Amino acid sequence: MAGSGAALPIRLSDIGARLRAFRMGRGLSPEAAAERLGISRAALYRAEKGQISKIDTLTRISEVLDVSLASLLGVGVEYVDTAVGFFERMRQLEKESEQVIGLFGPVSYLLTSDAYDQMLIEVLLDLVPSDPEQAADAQRSLTALMDILRERKTQFRSRQNLIVSLISSSDIERFLLHGALGRHDLPEAVIADRRRKARSEVEHIEAMLRRPPTGVQIGIVLDSTPATTFQIFRQPDRSVLAISPFRLGEQPNVSLGVALITSAPEPMLLHERIAQRLWDGALKSVEAADHLGVLIARYAIDA
């Protein structure tokens, strides 16, 4: 678990990746973004590959996408104010990482079952506004988000990154008690169905603890955990830290918040220490699986 991050020179490929993520987060198609920038679709494609040669092009991009030039360049801290943009950045970072360490609530999406995706769609639909125009925007955002998430999971399964997943026991308890709910005025039959699906997902985690997939380490944390999730992406030449208010589980949040991404040494080191402390005190392997079995028996709805 030991390691440290370091600030590195700006890489053009990173700028292109951020451009793509911010564009997607603003809900702009490549054609619409290219039109607003006054460039061709081919030129935008090259820019998203990091082929940017003029500072005035970067300035125009930052204006059109309503993002600071510092965030686009990745200088210091990169701020991301949409869930679509943030999870696209996660996909990009995971693609370049050898290991991902994270505190997720209630579970790491990358380790969820295929059935979790359908439940997540149902939960996020709970959040769609009743106003037709707002509902249309929310549906487009939901479609884009699920496309990115599915791509992340497919990418993870094909690459088999090493992953250390820290899971809060209290998050699991709430997940089993309430299921995943976008709001609390749902019919009892729907709530019961969500609770059964939550039970199935926790049983999936329990099974992984008893027979861990290659490269996967899971720790069940009994102590208090930070209110926001964080991930550490260890890449061959650097480490990257992401801190996020966005959640995909019980009481999801994909609409409001600001995530930050950085390679600065100090926050990286501090979060490495937090991760190490949580991992050292976490239940693991059969002991963790037995603990989840107790939580299922105590809090879960009958299957």
- Domains of the chain by range and CATH? 1-75 (1.10.260.40), 76-299 (3.30.870.10)
Q: How far is CA 84 from CA 17, 24, 254, in A?
A: 13, 7, 8
Enumerate residues 6+ apart whose C-beta is below 8 A from 217. 162, 163, 164, 165, 284
Please give the span between the terminal C-alpha atoms of the chain, in angstroms, as a whole number. 37
pLDDT digits (tens, 9 = 90+) for 69-89: 888 887 778 999 999 999 999
Predicted structure pTM score: 0.85
**Per-residue confidence (pLDDT) for residue 7, from 0 to 100:** 44
Would you say how long the chain is, in residues? 303
Q: Which residues of the chain carry a pLDDT beneath 50?
A: 2-7
Q: Supply the pLDDT for residue 5.
A: 41
Sheet containing 259-262: which strands, arranged edge to edge? 77-80, 259-262, 238-244, 229-235, 99-104, 162-168, 216-221, 283-284
The widest CA-to-CA distance across the chain, in whole angstroms, is 61
Please give the Cα distance from 243 to 103 (Å, whole number).
10
